[in-house]
Structure 1
Amino acid sequence: MSDDSEKYWYNLKTGEVEKGYASPSPDRAGPFDTSEEAARAPEIIRERSRAWAEEDARGDD
């Protein structure tokens, strides 16, 4: 198992990338393996949400 305290997180309040548990849990998205990936967190979250919504819509048929 990996140590998430050594990974990167996206701070949802400030928009900053952080390493480790610098912010309270409700304010963090992640973990991500790289700071570059964490910086893309809003885009990644939108993509995943869109995919889940499409899955749900297909399941309603």
Structure 2
Amino acid sequence: MARKCDICGKGPQVGNNVSHANNRTKKRSLPNLKSKLVEVNGKPMRIKICTGCLRTLDKVS
């Protein structure tokens, strides 16, 4: 399962956890994805959508 928004393409980001001793370890920040049933060309389709796009979609609809 790809952790990517079907609308905006937002995906995982990579960064570092930095400790007080300045040790660096890799971390991954995943987007907040939700599954939503929407109509595409008159057919219901389940898509993975980030919460930012979900709020915009609710505002437009």
Tell me the TM-score normalized by structure 1.
Answer: 0.31
Bigger Rg, structure 1 or 2? 2
Tell me the TM-score normalized by structure 2.
Answer: 0.31
Q: Which has a greater percent of strand? A: 2
